[in-house]
Amino acid sequence: MAVEANAPPGGPTPAPGTVRVANRGGLADLVADAELEKAAAGVLSPGQAPPPVSGKMLRVEVRGLLHDWFDVADMGDFIRSPQFAGTLRENVARYFGVPIERQAIYDEDGLLTSCADYSRALQRFYPKLFIYDLEEMGPDLRARAVEELRQLDADVEQSYRQFGAGRDSRGISPCPSARSQEKSEA
């Protein structure tokens, strides 16, 4: 977090994460600035430089706690690769203790299900993910997720039909989720 001291009133608007310190004068300014810088950088060991600030820092909320995790800009084109979503989920399991099979990861728009969803979520100006453990997820959020998945399934089935890959002559859908639904209805 940057600290902007003695900024003129009506001057440029500070960037998000910037704290504007009023001009109190003398020692009070120095003490206040030092405290703000310590709070912004976290507690650092002697000789350790604060991490660089980036507008592309991925923020993740896990179990109600917000974490600045990594600089998305440092990942380059890897966030657009098919392997990225799997790597991210493995790291969520490692760093936040949410096993892959119990993860539900959201952005501001909803549940992330495809590699493209993850890529788009991290290309936002201020990327933020919400990570849930399915065993700890509340019933309302879980019910909304199930409804989102039903809608997604219907949208995928419609896309299959639009591309001419709808049900075959036996009435079987190429969409795996639709096939399992057909079996349960039979």
The two three-digit tokens of residue 167, written as one number = 């049900």
pLDDT of res. 161 = 86
pTM: 0.59
Q: Residues 1-18: pLDDT tens digits? A: 433 444 434 444 434 443
Q: Residues 130-169: pLDDT tens digits? A: 999 999 998 998 998 899 999 989 988 898 888 887 655 5
Strand extents, DSSP E, the chain: 3-5, 19-21, 57-62, 65-71, 103-107, 110-111, 128-133
The two three-digit tokens of residue 56, written as one number = 């592309």
Q: Residues 78-136: pLDDT tens digits? A: 888 889 999 999 999 999 999 999 999 999 999 999 999 999 999 898 999 999 999 99
Cβ burial, residue 41 (10 Å; 0-12/13-18/19+): middle
